[in-house]
Amino acid sequence: MIWYYIITFALSLLCSSIYLGRYRKHYDVQFTLVYILVPIVMMGYLSLALSHNLEEAILANKIVYLGGCFTLTIITLYIMSMCRVKISQTMLVLVNILNLIFYLGVLSIGYSDIFYKSATFTIENGVGMLHKEYGLLHNLFYAYLFIEFIACFAALIYGYRKRPDASMKNIRLLYLAQTVSFLSFFFSKLLHLKIELLPLSYVINQFIFLIIVNRMVLYNIDELVIDTLSEKGDIGFISFDFDKNYLGSNQAAKRFFPQLKELRVDKPFISDDKLSLRINKWLTDFEQDNYKNEQQFGQQGLAYRFNISYLFDGKYNRGYQLMVTDTTEEQSYLKLLSNYNADLQKDVEKNIQKIRKMNDSFIMGMATMVEGRDNSTGGHIRRTSDVVKMLIDEMKKDNTFNLDDEFCTAVIKSAPMHDLGKITVDDAILRKPGKLTPEEYEKMKSHAPEGAKIVHKVLEGLDNERLKTIAENIAHYHHEKWDGTGYPDGLKGEEIPLEARIMAIADFYDALVSKRHYKPAMPFDQAYDIIMDGMGKFFDKRLEKYFVAAREKLEEYYRNQPDDDKPTY
């Protein structure tokens, strides 16, 4: 059995060596004390096993009790710290006094019966054994250890329910370590085993603590950043692991974005607020190497710049780190410069307007060129664009869709581009006078996704991201139907972008009331009934009231079209 104590002592020294090899200044002092005390305690157990007489055994036993009196308390205090339980200075002093009293009782062994009433020594199978009869103070010591266990359990519950910034993974590991220690202690006493279980439990605890130490650096966000940056206080840091679980943030970041204070550590960073949605998108882009060097974000008159990098623990890559810089003053300065250059800005705006008009003319020219290839759709892009505007005008009269001016303008500007994809369709199909075959119809349907690609290329240099998105959506999805029977992707319901739903009504209505080479123009009443029958099936039912409201204007508009395009009544 002597080898049991030799091996546990050696393993304890190994764990302490590993800890010292990974030591950093921000490691908690309690952990460091554990890795100092436990090898000393293990040396006490080995010395006890190697004792030759009662005096040597009692001395070794006094070393062993360093673990019982101090190490377990240190672990308890660390659990309190991890659970963010505040302990008063008075309580700490009281705990230390109690530990000292108990250890003084241990030191009195051989001189007083307050801790051990009596002690005898035997050697069994080559291992020194100390047989004790416990005194009053030792029984109180048992009660004290039980109270520590209850305190740990209470702290665990408090940390789970009240402290989202406490790592439950580390708390559970610490609780496991504490439980192993207590069970080993009590079972050894109750079962009167010939071998002590506590040395093994201490080694197990050290291994558990190494796991915790490996994770600790992830949560000490304030300690990870350079001290000067932290003291300056105008640069925030937000950290995530590779699963996008929130690890923590420094005080500057929490000051910039108070919602970070409510996030739970080790939980996914999921929320409906704009900041969370933006950050999740940036992290995804970073994973896919699509992330730009920096991103801007503003709220309530404040401006911030974000940069994303990997989160390194020494040479190990452990997750992602966002660096946040408050650029409000910078933006204010730029605004001041803008005011000083107001006249210059006006000239710039005039030039921009010219460029925009040229761009709009170019787009309309492309659409007209495409339309010219299809001899059945004369004036279609102009008419559908006007119909879209009439529907938008009606939609702006209430708040059902909460349309903003930017959206409305973008939809109207994008409408002429909805059929650009037809440039990729073969003339034989595009100009075919009769009904298309299934194979030809499949090729015709390809104009929707191809159109989206063309729109993307045409608008690639434009700085208006919203306009680009809306234009691509209209080209791609204007043939989708509310019930999912449309093309090219079979989207249904609100999966279809709103701009495409509006375009679908305008496109279909024009096709009905306009004359084509394969059909005459349909009377207004009949076209109106067909559109109304399609509401809730092909078209968004919520758009029905706007179509109804615009009916008279639509019919008047088509009555005033050139003779070649007029419907027959």
**Sign of the alpha-carbon dihedral angle for 407, 409, 412, 418:** negative
Cα 396 to Cα 549: distance, rounded to the nearest angstrom: 12
Residue 314: predicted pLDDT: 65
pLDDT of residue 567: 46
Domains of the chain: 2-219 (1.20.1070), 222-337 (3.30.450.20), 342-565 (1.10.3210.10)
DSSP state of 378: T
User: What does the DSSP assignment read for 165-226?
Assistant: TS-HHHHHHHHHHHHHHHHHHHHHHHHT-SS-SHHHHHHHHHHHHHHHHHHHHHH-HHHHS-
- The pLDDT assigned to 225 comes to 52
Distance CA 424, CA 99 (A): 85
The mean-pLDDT minimum among 13-22, 57-66, 72-81, 557-566 falls in 557-566
Q: Examine the pLDDT at 494 and tell me if it is beyond 90.
A: yes
Most confident among 114-118, 156-160, 353-357 (mean pLDDT): 114-118
Look at residue 395 in the predicted model and tell me its pLDDT: 94
Average pLDDT over residues 501-517: 89
Inform me whether the pLDDT recorded for 179 exceeds 60: yes
pLDDT digits (tens, 9 = 90+) for 433-453: 778 888 988 888 898 999 899
CA distance 163 to 88: 18
Q: What is the pLDDT of residue 363?
A: 61
User: Quick one: pLDDT at residue 333?
Assistant: 65
Lowest mean pLDDT among 27-41, 207-221, 528-542: 207-221
- pLDDT of 260 reads 82
Q: What is the per-residue pLDDT for 353?
A: 54
Q: Say whether pLDDT at 237 is over 80.
A: yes
pLDDT digits (tens, 9 = 90+) for 268-310: 876 667 778 888 888 888 887 776 666 777 776 788 888 888 8
**pLDDT tens digit sequence for 350-395:** 544 554 554 555 565 555 555 555 654 457 888 898 999 999 999 9
Q: Mean per-residue pLDDT for 189-218?
A: 78
Whole-number average pLDDT of the chain: 81
pLDDT for residue 86 is more than 90: no
Closest to 70 (Cα-Cα) out of 45, 43, 106: 106
